Amino acid sequence: MAKRLVDSLREAGYRLTAPRLAIIKVLEAETGHLSPAEVLEKGRAFYPALSRATVYRTLDLLTKLGLLRPIYLGEGNLCFIYPREGHHHLICSKCGMVVDFDECIAAPLGQALSERFGFRIESHLLEFYGLCENCQKDEQKQAGGD
Amino acid sequence: MAKRLVDSLREAGYRLTAPRLAIIKVLEAETGHLSPAEVLEKGRAFYPALSRATVYRTLDLLTKLGLLRPIYLGEGNLCFIYPREGHHHLICSKCGMVVDFDECIAAPLGQALSERFGFRIESHLLEFYGLCENCQKDEQKQAGGD
DNA sequence: TTATAATTGAGACAGAATCTCAATATTAAA
DNA sequence: TTTAATATTGAGATTCTGTCTCAATTATAA
Ligand SMILES: [Zn+2]
Ligand SMILES: [Zn+2]
Ligand SMILES: [Zn+2]
Ligand SMILES: [Zn+2]
């Protein structure tokens, strides 16, 4: 698990530095969805001098290597997810609640697209949007005011 | 087509104002993926006094109503898409190129999740990430430097 | 060890998003 | 129509986010 990010960096010819390791530890420790600000904060537990610029640079680098994915979940914050195969989300477009689920049907389509467009597909995003049970109830009571 | 956004606003009890109409016209005119800044600029063609705050407020509102979806495409800019059924993307994680395609297999899974979690699903996101042909070639030549 | 070049932190900077509040416009009721 | 109640707005201040520069540091291979 820990190996994947580290090895991919190395194989691509990038140096394995203390700041990068701190960031990778954060990404691996959390199963979830981390904003750059959270990565910075948590990363300083491993490497106190960690700077904001380095966090952004490293998240971008890992994204370019296809190891992370930027996504908007719920409350309008960019976050990066470290994709586990077949891990996806159900998001309430009103209150922002996020439900995780592990189930997927995207592989065959991915295969087809890969051939059609000459892409080498590394991962995908599958997110459903809608209203959670609570927000459905709220909706019936009120109309108008937020 | 034009009706959908307008009617949904009304039905949810929100007022139909000139600034909102301008924004809706922009969203309908463009098939693509618009950043808030683009919506502001284009929206001023319909309603010159349109303000940035109103653009953000309206995009958020339409998102809460499940009519728009915030997404990161390619080069790290937030944009909002006005989902057309089965319209999705293939994104190069290195150079940011976006390929559109219209094909989808998410509906049955959506149905199942809806029942399992009590969500009312309104739409979904299905995006594939990988390397485009050019970036695959580049990768073979160099290792290391950006 | 040493040389080389990638990487870093700090802080300046630019741009994006949010907030406040008085002024305005929509809507429903009179 | 007219009016009253209230949602919505624009402008600008403000706060956050993300980028950039550059000298200092550090990983790596020789
Ligand atoms: Zn999947
Ligand atoms: Zn909800
Ligand atoms: Zn998750
Ligand atoms: Zn590419």
Predicted confidence band of residue B74 (pLDDT cuts 50, 70, 90): low
DSSP labels, B91-119: EETTT--EEEEE----HHHHHHHHHHH--
For the residues B87-102, what does the mean pLDDT come to? 85
Q: Are residues A40 and A91 in the same domain?
A: no
Verify that B97 and B111 share a domain, yes or no.
Answer: yes
Three-state secondary structure call for residue A88: strand
Cα gap B7→B13, rounded to integer Å: 10
Q: With an 8 Å Cβ cutoff, are B122 and A129 in contact?
A: yes
Closest to A97 (Cα-Cα) out of B118, B72, B8, B126: B118
Q: How far: B27 CA to C20 C1' (Å)?
A: 28
pLDDT of residue B146: 34
Q: Each residue of B27-65: pLDDT tens digit?
A: 988 767 899 999 999 999 999 999 999 999 999 999 988
pLDDT at B124 over 60: yes
* A-chain residue closest to B70, CA distance: A72
pLDDT(B141) > 60: no
Q: Are residues A105 and A33 in the same domain?
A: no
Look at residue B144 in the predicted model and tell me its pLDDT: 37
CB–CB contact A113 B128 (8 Å): yes
Q: Is the pLDDT of residue A1 over 60?
A: no
Contact at 8 Å (CB) between B63 and A93? yes
Kindly state whether residues B5 and B32 are assigned to the same domain: yes
A16-53 pLDDT tens trace: 999 999 999 999 887 678 899 999 999 999 999 999 99
Show the domain range for A68: 1-83
Interchain CB distance below 8 Å, B13 and A144: yes
Compute the nearest-CA separation of B141 from chain A (Å).
Answer: 12
The total number of structural domains that make up chain B:
2
Residue A70 touches partner B, C-beta closer than 8 Å = yes
Which protein residue has its CA closest to C1' of D16?
Answer: A37
Do B105 and B72 belong together in one domain? no
| Domain closes at, from B83, B105, B135 | B83
Query: Both A69 and A105 in a single domain?
Result: no
Query: Of A83, A106, A132, which marks where a domain is finished?
Result: A83
Claim to verify: residue A71 and residue A138 sit in the same structural domain: no
Which domain CATH number covers A18?
1.10.10.10
pLDDT of res. A74: 63
* Selected residue of A93, A115, A142 to mutate for chain B interface (largest B Cβ count, 10 A): A93
- CB of B108 within 8 Å of any CB in chain A? yes
| Span CA (A108) to C1' (D16), Å | 41
A17 touches chain B (CB under 8 A): no
Query: In one letter, which amino acid is A63?
Result: T
Which A residues 35-64 touch B at CB under 8 Å?
A: 60, 63-64
Q: Are residues A77 and A95 in the same domain?
A: no
